[in-house]
């Protein structure tokens, strides 16, 4: 088995991004551009070398991967020079796969084709045919055999008519790569060491250059500014939406669906427009998500209804539950089977038992709520004393009247009833009514103020 060494060129500053971050740290679908490339490289490579330059410390700190060999390019002397920095770290009996940290949508299948072609010929490059090839190096062929790559600034008028262009991505047997890199010179318009010049050297050496032509121009598109970044974000999201729909997910409007993580789902799930998925999200069977919801790192069960404008983060939602509209389920919340969390309800670090209801305008935090509990409108668990958080425990079948405050630490017994408008500071016994109110009074002489 031939080892594959990925060389990812990531030294560019990305001036047109107008950002303090290096270009490869700009994000697409909540992952850095470099992160997307690394994800594909790790699937097929035994070793990864990242050539960094501008903002190198920031790049390494953000990626934070000890399995990467970080190689510094102190001077920006061209792509050939960048690859030269990595080759001393690469064994001769391997294949070097050259990738770019600002080309985030490259796919594993394409790279595998490229490596396979390299095993046959020793050198294989990836090209694409563009309607408008301006700015790209042209693939020059003779009788369909690749002879050279000519950069835009060095191309003749006839060569500029060629629409097959170089993507920069190539696979080369490392012995050949080292040989041809050593023969590079700066005799070109930019005065740099062009990696593409190794193709002409290989042809002069009698080598046949293999090629893989991708039909997806966005797969090999680089990112140079925020406009291009936004364009690739949309392409990426469209591709994800198409994939999910092919697997059975119903999307009301695929153009307004964003997945910035990984989504798995059962049968007959439906997602309405403007839903954002982040992190790792799992949906069971027959679950529906209404418009304008945000779900992050959560497990959603079967037959769950998530109503409009709800936010769910790092939570578990049980089978048959109903969430929202305008609900916020915060981290470490576990909503039980057939429970209901209604409009403008916030649940944080709490367990809500089977069949329990928190229907309106309530806050439940640091609490354990039993089965069949009814929590009325405007109820809050007062879990914070200004320094520490405290627990509220509500037993099965309890009824908490509207506009009550449960001052933790406190326990509400099984089947207990809390009268509306109460501030409960001591534990309430099971099966009994507990309330705290001042006696209702009349003030006959009182008059409403009159505007002066």
Which of 49, 81, 360, 390 is the catalytic position?
A: 360
Is 437 part of any known ligand binding site?
A: yes
pLDDT at 112: 97
pLDDT at 421: 95
3-state secondary structure of 324: coil
3-state secondary structure of 184: coil
Task: Give residue-wise pLDDT tens across range 390-415.
Answer: 999 999 999 999 999 999 999 999 99
Please name every residue paired with 166 in a beta bridge, in sequence order, or none if there are none: 127
CA 272 – CA 34 distance, rounded (Å): 31
CA 198 – CA 191 distance, rounded (Å): 16
Is 152 part of any known ligand binding site?
A: no
pLDDT at 30: 95
Asked if 360 is an active-site residue, the reply is: yes
Is 102 part of any known ligand binding site?
A: yes
pLDDT at 76: 85
Ordered structural domains, the chain, with CATH:
3-220 (3.90.550.10), 250-434 (2.160.10.10)
- pLDDT of 438 above 90: no
Is 137 part of any known ligand binding site?
A: yes
Please answer whether residues 8 and 38 qualify as being in contact, where contact means their C-beta atoms are separated by less than 8 angstroms: yes
Token readout for 230 is 């936004």
CA 198 – CA 253 distance, rounded (Å): 47
Is 248 part of any known ligand binding site?
A: no
pLDDT at 367: 98
Is 284 part of any known ligand binding site?
A: no
Cα-to-chain-centroid distance, residue 447: 61
Task: Give residue-wise pLDDT tens across range 221-267.
Answer: 999 999 999 999 999 999 999 999 999 999 999 999 999 999 999 99
Sorted by sequence, the CB contacts under 8 Å of residue 442 that are 6+ apart come out as: none
Is 224 part of any known ligand binding site?
A: yes
Locate tokens 């309800």: which residue?
A: 345
What's the whole-number mean pLDDT along residues 138-143? 93
Sorted by sequence, the CB contacts under 8 Å of residue 439 that are 6+ apart come out as: none
Is 256 part of any known ligand binding site?
A: no
Kindly report which listed range (103-107, 232-236, 282-286, 446-450) carries the lowest average pLDDT score: 446-450
Is 377 part of any known ligand binding site?
A: yes
The mean predicted confidence, pLDDT, of the chain is 95
pTM of the model: 0.90
- pLDDT of 357 above 80: yes
pLDDT at 446: 83
Task: Give residue-wise pLDDT tens across range 358-393.
Answer: 999 999 999 999 999 999 999 999 999 999 999 999
pLDDT at 186: 82
Please answer whether residues 220 and 103 qualify as being in contact, where contact means their C-beta atoms are separated by less than 8 angstroms: yes
Instruction: Give the angle subtended at the CA of 171 by the CAs of 114 and 195, to the nearest 5°.
Output: 135
Phi and psi angles of residue 48, each rounded to the nearest 5 degrees, phi first: -125, 130
């Amino acid at each position: 088995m031939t080892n594959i060494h990925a060389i990812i060129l990531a030294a560019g500053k990305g001036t047109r991004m107008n950002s303090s971050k290096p270009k490869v740290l700009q994000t697409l679908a909540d992952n850095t551009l470099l992160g997307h490339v690394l994800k594909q490289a790790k699937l097929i490579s035994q070793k990864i070398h990242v050539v960094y330059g501008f903002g190198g410390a920031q790049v390494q700190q953000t990626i934070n991967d000890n399995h990467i060999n970080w190689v510094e390019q102190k001077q920006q002397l061209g792509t050939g020079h960048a690859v030269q920095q990595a080759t001393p770290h690469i064994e001769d009996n391997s294949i070097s796969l050259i990738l770019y940290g600002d080309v985030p949508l490259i796919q594993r299948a394409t790279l595998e084709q490229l490596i396979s072609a390299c095993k046959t010929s020793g050198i294989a490059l990836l090209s694409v045919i563009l309607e408008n090839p301006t700015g790209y190096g042209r693939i020059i062929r003779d009788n369909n055999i690749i002879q050279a790559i000519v950069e835009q600034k060095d191309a003749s008028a006839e060569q500029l008519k060629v629409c097959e262009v170089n993507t920069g991505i190539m696979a080369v047997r490392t012995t050949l790569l080292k040989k041809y890199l050593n023969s590079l010179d700066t005799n070109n318009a930019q005065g740099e060491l062009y990696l593409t010049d190794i193709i002409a050297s290989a042809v002069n050496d009698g080598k046949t250059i293999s090629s893989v032509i991708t039909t997806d121009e966005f797969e090999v598109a680089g990112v140079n500014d925020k406009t291009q970044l936004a364009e690739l974000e949309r392409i990426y999201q469209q591709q994800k939406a198409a994939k999910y729909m092919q697997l059975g997910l119903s999307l009301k409007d695929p153009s307004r669906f964003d997945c910035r993580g990984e989504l798995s789902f059962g049968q007959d799930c439906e997602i309405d427009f403007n839903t954002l998925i982040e992190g790792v999200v799992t949906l069971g069977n027959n679950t529906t998500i209404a418009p304008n919801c945000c779900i992050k790192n959560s497990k959603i069960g079967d037959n769950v209804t998530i109503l409009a404008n709800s936010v769910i983060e790092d939570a578990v939602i049980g089978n048959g539950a109903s969430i929202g509209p305008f609900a916020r389920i915060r981290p470490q919340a576990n909503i039980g089977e057939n429970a209901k969390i209604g409009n403008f309800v916030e649940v944080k670090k709490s367990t809500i038992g089977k069949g329990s209801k928190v229907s309106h305008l309530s806050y439940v935090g640091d609490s354990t709520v039993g089965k069949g509990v009814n929590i009325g409108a405007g109820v809050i668990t007062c879990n914070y004393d200004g320094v520490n958080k405290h627990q509220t425990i509500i037993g099965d079948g309890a009824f908490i009247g509207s506009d009550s405050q449960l001052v933790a630490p406190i326990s509400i017994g099984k089947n207990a009833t809390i009268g509306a408008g109460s501030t409960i500071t001591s534990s309430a016994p099971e099966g009994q009514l507990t309330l705290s109110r001042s006696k209702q009074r009349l003030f006959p002489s009182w008059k409403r103020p009159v505007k002066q």
